[in-house]
């Protein structure tokens, strides 16, 4: 019996060591790719801002080109995050490595020519594809239970962490995003190592995360809160929850609507590209292009006149139109922007500082839109300081409850459905 026990312990630590090494390799590889992707994306944004009027007319042609390259080379890679979830649930065996260059190129082009989209969808796909293929190699020398899902989660954590440089949020985002309400703790070790190594690698290569210590800036101390403040934050959480849920629902509806409205994806990309180009030109000349990081930065710039009361709504609608039309990117960065702008507007109505409200909205709309809780709280504290933890905990908890179990990830499962809550 002692011999069996020693053998069991030896295997456990051997597998743990292999998973940690695999996480380190995956994290470094994904961090390097994320750094390259993010650096070029920032350059695309800078070029678009400088030559906006010259580039915007090519947005329809860009949509057509993206459609054609995915039709020619993409095969099942055009499913994007849906394919990632299918592999996570065991419905598909693996992720094609071609997802990496295709998603990167398509996202660069979308941002360069004026589309409104995020970037994390690409980063998560990059991490998942790299990790999935590394996992296949490791499976040949070991026999780890449920390794396919484990390495997928590991890659998702690395992809998120490498791009946003928020490793703790990335770990829990990957652990809880597949099934809302459930944490995949069996992947904790490789996901943690991969997330930390990806974040440090991308930062060493020049990527920087968004960070502002909001309480020091506003001279607020977390011990000063009372029941009135908590109720105000809870009310804001309710609003953020409904808005994040609305974003997810409208995105799903518009994708289906446009799919049935057009006879072919190519026709959809061209016609919707023309509509988007006109709207981007008319609505503050490109203010709503890209990830929305420009709007997020304005929320914390100290000038109360630079954020309009409708910024959050226009950013949400234009992002939905962009992603529904066949352009590539993600939804998380726009969710940050939408939440920040909304929080900036409604906080003064409750007697709160607009920047404080913007910080709360940054995390809470992300929580609602992605149907995640711990990741949202952690992305808040990693972006605005750990002293904000009590406030983020309240606002994200309420937002999570009032998103009515909806998510931007249509393939996401939820343990709450067993209780009769299946979303709208």
Does the domain formed by 214-419 have CATH 3.30.465.10? no
Question: Could you report the per-residue pLDDT of 32-51, keeping only the tens digit for each?
Answer: 999 999 999 999 999 999 99
H helices present in 205-264, as ranges: 214-218, 227-261
pTM of the model: 0.94
Would the pLDDT of 304 be above 60? no
180: three-class secondary structure by DSSP: strand
Q: Is the pLDDT of residue 423 over 60?
A: no
Q: Picking from 35-39, 140-144, 217-221, 341-345, which range would have the lowest pLDDT averaged per residue?
A: 140-144
Q: Give the pLDDT of residue 219.
A: 66
Answer yes or no: is pLDDT of 301 > 90: no
In tens, the pLDDT along 312-368 reads: 999 999 999 999 999 999 999 999 999 999 999 999 999 999 999 999 999 999 999
Query: What percent of the chain shows pLDDT beyond 70?
Result: 92
Q: Which of 96-105, 196-205, 357-366 has the lowest mean pLDDT?
A: 96-105
- Cβ-contact 240, 365 below 8 angstroms: yes
pLDDT at 419 over 60: no
For the chain, the helix, strand and coil percentages under 3-state DSSP, each to the nearest 5: 75, 0, 25
Which residues, other chains included, contact 264 with Cβ-Cβ below 8 Å and sequence gap of 6+?
none
CB-based contact 388:61 (threshold 8 Å): no
3-state secondary structure of 422: coil
Q: Where in the chain is the domain with CATH 1.10.3080.10?
A: 8-204, 214-419
**pLDDT single digits (tens) 10-24:** 777 777 888 899 999
For residue 67, give both structure tokens: 């459609």
Within 10 A of 404 (CB to CB), how many other CB atoms are there?
19
CATH number for 8-204: choose from 3.10.450.230, 1.10.3720.10, 1.10.3080.10, 1.10.490.10. Answer: 1.10.3080.10
Mean pLDDT of the chain: 91
């Amino acid at each position: 019996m002692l011999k069996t026990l020693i053998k069991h312990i030896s295997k456990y630590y051997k597998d743990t060591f292999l998973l940690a090494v695999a996480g380190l390799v995956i994290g470094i590889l994904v961090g390097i790719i994320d750094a390259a992707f993010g650096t070029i994306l920032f350059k695309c944004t800078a070029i678009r801002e400088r030559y906006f009027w010259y580039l915007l007319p090519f947005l329809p042609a860009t949509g057509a080109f993206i459609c054609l390259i995915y039709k020619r080379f993409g095969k099942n890679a055009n499913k994007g995050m849906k394919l990632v979830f299918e592999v996570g649930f065991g419905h598909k065996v693996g992720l094609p490595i071609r997802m990496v260059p295709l998603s990167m190129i398509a996202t660069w082009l979308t941002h360069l020519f004026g589309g409104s989209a995020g970037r994390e969808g690409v980063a998560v796909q990059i991490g998942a594809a790299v990790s999935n293929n590394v996992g296949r190699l490791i499976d040949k020398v070991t026999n780890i239970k449920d390794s396919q899902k484990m390495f997928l989660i590991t890659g998702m954590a690395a992809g998120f962490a490498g791009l946003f440089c928020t490793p703790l949020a990335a770990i829990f985002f990957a652990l809880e995003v597949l099934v809302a309400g459930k944490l995949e703790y069996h992947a904790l070790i490789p996901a943690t190592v991969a997330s930390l190594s990806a974040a440090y690698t991308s930062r060493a290569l020049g990527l920087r995360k968004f960070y502002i210590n909001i309480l020091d800036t506003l001279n607020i101390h977390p011990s000063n809160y009372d029941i009135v403040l908590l109720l105000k934050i809870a009310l804001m959480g309710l609003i953020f929850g409904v808005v994040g849920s609305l974003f997810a629902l409208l995105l799903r509806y518009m994708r289906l609507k446009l799919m049935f409205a057009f006879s072919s994806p190519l026709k959809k990309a061209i016609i919707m590209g023309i509509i988007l180009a006109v709207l981007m030109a008319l609505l503050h000349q490109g203010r709503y292009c890209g990830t929305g990081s420009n709007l997020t930065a304005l929320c914390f710039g100290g000038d109360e006149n630079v954020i309009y009361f409708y910024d959050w709504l226009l950013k949400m609608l234009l992002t939905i139109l962009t992603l529904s039309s066949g352009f590539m990117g993600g939804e998380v960065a726009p969710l940050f922007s939408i939440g920040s702008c909304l929080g900036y507007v409604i906080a003064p109505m409750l007697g709160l500082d607009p920047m404080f409200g913007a910080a709360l909205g940054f995390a809470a709309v992300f929580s609602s839109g992605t149907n995640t809780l711990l990741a949202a709280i952690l992305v808040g504290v990693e972006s605005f300081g750990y002293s904000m933890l009590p406030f983020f905990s309240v606002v994200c908890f309420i937002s999570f409850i009032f998103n009515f179990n909806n998510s931007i990830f249509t393939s996401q499962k939820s343990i709450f459905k067993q209780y009769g809550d299946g979303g709208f």
